[in-house]
Chain A
Amino acid sequence: MRLLIKSGRVVDPANKIDEKLDVLIVDGKIAELAQNIDAGDAEVINAAGLIVTPGLIDMHVHLRDPGLEYKEDIVSGTRAAAAGGVTSVVCMPNTSPVNDNLAITRYITSKAREQGTANVFPVGCITKGLKGEILAEMGELKEGGCVGFSDDGLPVRDGEMMRRALEYANTFDAPIISHAEDLTLVAGGCMNEGPVSTELGLKGIPWAAEDAMTARDIMLAELTGAHLHVAHVSTRGSVELVRQAKGRGVRVTCEAAPHHFMLTDEAVRGYDTNFKMNPPLRSADDVAAVRAGLADGTIDAIATDHAPHHIDEKNVEFAIALNGVVGLETLLPLTLQLVGEKVLTLEQAIALVTCRPAGVLGLDRGTLSVGAVADVTLVNPNKEWTVDAQQLLSKSKNTSFDGQQMKGYAVRTLLAGKTVFERQ
C-alpha cells in the first residue's frame, strides 16, 4: 500500500521542516520526505496549494462514551475529529460510569479501534468515582492505555490527595492533568466575575478561583517532582504562574482552549448558553495573556475541551445550563487565525496542535518523521467558510462560533495512511 502526497507545503515542527516536499507513505508509515519522489505504483494525492501537517492532536476532549451517548459517542466524536483534521483524541474520564477501571479503559480503546476514525487515548481518573477520596488504579490503567490522569470537571479538593496523586502517577511516568478550580471561590458562579456579570446580574466566578488552585498544584508539583499538566488555563494569573514555575524548573505544562483566546465575557451579554463553559470566558486582559502565553511557549498545547451537550441541556435559563462547548471541528481554523493575526508563526501554531501535546503526554504521534505512523492532515489554509452548527458532525451542536466566518479547514485526513475524512 503506497501513497504519495505530492507538492504540498510540508510543515512538521518536530523536525523543523517547512518546505514544499512530497511525502511517501508505505504500509501506513511515513517512508520518505523529499522533493520529486517518483510515484511508481503509488496512489497520488495532489497537495499543491495545501499544507501537509502531522494529524492534529486534541488533548482535551469529552467523547461522552460510555453512558452519555445522547451527547456524543466514540463514533460520532472521532468522525467530528477527522472532519476537523484531528487524528488523535485524548478523552476525559468523566463518562458514566467514569473511567477509573481497566474494563472501561478497554471498552474505550477497543471501540475506538474497531469503529473510530481517530486514535483515542483515554485519560483515567485520579480518584475512584471522581470522588477525591481514593486513588484510582493508575498502574493498571496506564498499562491499559491511559496516557494521563485527571478528575476533569472537578478539582481534587484535598491537598494531600493531590500530593499523593502526583507522587503515585509519577511512579508510572504519567502526568496529572489538573482541573484547577477552587470550588469554594466559585461558590455557584456561572460566568466570569466582572463588570459584565454585574450588569447581567449573573453570579460571577473570580479569576482567583482558578489562580489559587493552579498555584497550589504547581507547588505540589514542585514538592513532589512530578509532572503536572494544567488543563484549560484561562486567566492572566494562571498563565503567569505556569511561566514562573517553568522558569524555575518545575515539571509543569499547560493547555489553552480556542474559546479562551478568541472570546471574552462580553459574548455572554445575550445570555446565550453556547457561551457558558468552565472555566468561563474571561476579560480581554486574560485573553491577551493567554495569547502571550501561546506566543512565548508558556502554553504547551491548544486543546478544545470539546464538551458536547444536548440541546435540552443548553436551551434553558443561563444559570442552570450545563457548561461546555464543542470544539473539534473549529480547532484548526481558530488556531490558524492566530497565525493570521500574527500572534504565532505557522510553525508555532502547528506545533501547538501536534508535537507539543504529543510531548506532554508521551504520544508517538504528532510528527512526520520517517518511520512514524502516517497520521496526516491536508489543510487548505485560505478557504473561507461559515460555521453552521447544524452541519457539524458532532452529535451536539453547542458551538460558540455558529454563523462565524472561518478561514482554513482540513480537506483530507489520513489515519495511518488511510483516508478517514475527505471534504467534497
Chain B
Amino acid sequence: MKFQHKHILGIEPMSAEELTFILDTADSFKEINTRDIKKVPTLRGKTIVNLFFEASTRTRTSFEVAGKRLSADTINISASGSSVVKGETLEDTAKNIEAMHPDIIVMRHNASGACRYLAERLNCSVVNAGDGMHEHPSQALLDAFTIRQHKGEIAGLTVAIVGDITHSRVVRSNIYCLNRLGAKVRIAGPGTMLPPGIEKLGCEVFRNLEDAIRDADVVMMLRIQRERQGATLIPSVREYSRFFGLNEEKLKLAKPDAIVMHPGPINRGVELSSAVADGPQNVILDQVENGVAVRMALLYLVAGGEQLQND
C-alpha cells in the first residue's frame, strides 16, 4: 500500500490498515538493530531535527538512534539550549530550523496541538513525539508492536491501562490504536485522574484496578507524574500505590500469561512493585527495543519510503 501521511500527528486520523502497515514496516526494520553493523543507507542525505521542548531521554534517544541507523543526519535541539529561552515564538523557532531545509522535524512540546500547529505552518514533515496531553503516536505504535510480538494478534485482546488517564497522551493514542486493531481497552484510575467523556474515545472506565485488570491479556501501568499531581489529585503516593499500584498479588487477577507494560520511566514501588517490574511477565525493555524499529518505520514512511526504494 501507499503511505499517504506527510506528517505523523496522531493515531486518531489513521486507519487499521495504515497502522498495520506501519507495524509490518517496523517488523522489517527490527532485524537491522541486531546486526553487527547497525546501519542501512535508506535515508542517506536526509536531515532530521529532533526538537524537544520537554525533557525526554527515552523518546529522544530512540528517535535519534532510529534516524542514525537509517543513515539520516540527526540533530537534537532541546528547549533549554535554544532560543526559546530568549522568548522566541514556536513558529519563529520552527521557521528558522526549516530555513536550513530539514526533511523531518520530530517534536515534543508541552502544548496539546503544537505539532499540528507546526505542520500547518511548515513545508517539511512533522512527527509528533508527544504533544501535551493530546497524543504520543510512536509510543502507541511501539506498544502495539510489542503486544503483537508477544500475543501474535491484537484483535480480541483485552488491554487494561491504569493510572493518570487525564494527563496521559499515551492513553489517548493507545485507545485509538488498540481500538482500530480490534482490542478492547479498559482504563482505571482515581476519579481525579479520569477526564469527562473519555469513554467516547473507545474504552470502558473502571474505578478500581482490580476490576480493570481481571482476565486482561495486557496490563499497561502509567507513570504517576509527581510533577502534575499537585495538591489535589491524590492525597499521597502511598495511598495511590495501595489502591492503584500493581504488585504480584493483584497481577494474579489478570490472565496467567498476561504481559505487563509501562511507557517509562517507572516509579518503582509506586505504580509498579519492583517484583512486577522485573518479573517474568514484564515486557518493558521489549517496548524500548521495539521503539527504535517503530520509529525507523515512521521516519522511513514520512520521508517517502517507497519512492526511495524504487530510485
Q: Which residues of A contact B (CB under 8 A)?
A: 193-204, 270-271, 312, 315-320
Closest chain B residue to A191, Cβ basis = B112
Which residues of the other chain, A, contact B197 by a CB distance below 8 angstroms?
194-196, 198-199
User: How far is the CB of B202 from the nearest CB of chain A, in Å?
Assistant: 11
Is B79 engaged at the interface, CB distance under 8 Å to the other chain? no
Given the contacts A201-B135, A317-B90, A195 and B196 also touching, CB distance less than 8 Å? yes
Contact of A199 among B132, B166, B200 (CB under 8 A): B200
Q: Which B residues are in CB contact (< 8 Å) with A194? A: 196-197
A201-B196 contact given A271-B113, A319-B111, CB 8 Å threshold: no
- Could you show 27 A-B contacts with beta carbons less than 8 Å apart? A194-B196, A195-B196, A195-B197, A197-B195, A197-B196, A198-B195, A198-B196, A198-B198, A198-B200, A198-B201, A199-B12, A200-B112, A200-B134, A201-B113, A201-B132, A201-B172, A202-B113, A202-B134, A203-B133, A204-B196, A315-B91, A317-B117, A318-B112, A318-B113, A318-B117, A319-B111, A319-B132
- B135 pairs with A271, CB closer than 8 A: no
A200-B112, A201-B112, A317-B90 are known contacts; what are 8 more A-B pairs with Cβ within 8 Å?
A195-B197, A198-B200, A201-B169, A202-B113, A203-B133, A312-B89, A318-B112, A319-B112
User: Could you give, for residues 80-122 of chain B, a 1 whenever the CB lies within 8 Å of some chain A CB and a 0 otherwise?
Assistant: 0000000001110000000000000000010111101100000
Q: Which residues B159-180 have CB closer than 8 A to chain A?
A: 166, 169, 172
Residues of B within 8 A of A319 (CB): 111-112, 132
* B290 → chain A closest CB, angstroms: 24
User: B131 at interface (Cβ–Cβ under 8 A)?
Assistant: yes
Closest to B90 in A: A317
Closest Cβ of chain A to B76, distance in Å, is 21
> In the assembled complex, how far is the CB of residue A10 from the closest CB belonging to chain B, in whole angstroms?
48
Let me know if A202 and B132 touch, CB within 8 A: yes
The listed residue (A193, A198, A201, A316) touching B131 by CB distance below 8 A is A201
Determine how close the nearest CB of chain B comes to the CB of A268; give it in whole angstroms: 9
Contact with A along B124-163 (1 / 0, CB 8 A): 0000000111110000000000000000000000000000
Scan B177-213; emit 1 where CB is below 8 A from any A CB, else 0: 0000000000000000001111011000000000000
Please name all residues of chain B whose beta carbon is closer than 8 Å to the beta carbon of A204 when the two chains form the complex: 195-196
A402 CB to closest chain B CB (Å) equals 15
A196-B132 Cα distance, complex, nearest whole Å: 15
Contacts of B114 in A (CB 8 A): 317
Our count of residue pairs bridging A and B at CB distance below 8 angstroms stands at 66
- For B169, the chain A residues whose CB sits under 8 A away are 201
A316–B197 Cα distance when bound, in Å, is 27
What are the 4 tightest A-B residue pairs by CB atom distance, in nearest-first order? A195-B197, A201-B133, A201-B134, A271-B113
Bound Cα distance from A252 to B247, whole angstroms: 57
Q: Which residues of B contact A320 (CB under 8 A)?
A: 111
Give the complex CA separation of A315 and B113 in angstroms.
Answer: 13
Known interface pairs A315-B91, A317-B111, A318-B113; A199-B172 also in contact (CB < 8 Å):
yes
In whole angstroms, how far apart are the Cα atoms of A196 and B133 in the complex? 13
Cα–Cα, bound, A271→B133 (Å)? 13
Docked pose: A194 CA to B197 CA in angstroms: 6
Contacts of A195 in B (CB 8 A): 196-197, 200
Within the complex, the shortest CB–CB distance from A27 to chain B, in Å, comes to 54
Known A-B contacts A201-B131, A201-B133; the reply to A271 vs B196 at CB < 8 A is: no
Q: Chain B 267-289, CB within 8 Å of chain A: the 1/0 string?
A: 00000000000000000000000
A112 to B117, CA, bound (A): 39
A193 surroundings in chain B (CB, below 8 A): 196
| Cβ A271 vs Cβ B109 within 8 A | no
Chain A residues, Cβ within 8 Å of B89: 312, 315-316
Contact A202 B112 (CB under 8 A): yes
Residues of B within 8 Å of A315, CB to CB, are 89, 91
Does B111 lie within 8 Å of A318, measured CB to CB?
Answer: yes
Query: Cβ of B198: which chain A residues have Cβ within 8 Å of it?
Result: 198
Q: Is the CB of A317 within 8 A of B109?
A: yes
Which chain B residue shows the least CB distance to A202?
B112
- Alpha-carbon separation in the docked complex, A194 to B195 (Å): 8
B133: chain A residues at CB < 8 Å are 201-203
CA distance A320 to B117 in the complex (A): 13
CB distance from B54 to the nearest CB of A (A): 13
Contacts of A317 in B (CB 8 A): 90, 109, 111, 113-114, 117
CA distance A172 to B73 in the complex (A): 72
User: In the complex, what's the smallest C-beta–C-beta distance from B100 to chain A, in angstroms?
Assistant: 22
A197 to B172, CA, bound (A): 12
Report the minimal beta-carbon distance from A70 to chain B, rounded to whole angstroms. 16
Bound form: Cα–Cα A319–B117 in Å: 12
Assembly CA distance A201 to B172 (angstroms): 8
Q: A197-B195, A198-B197 are in contact. Are A316 and B113 (CB under 8 A)?
A: no
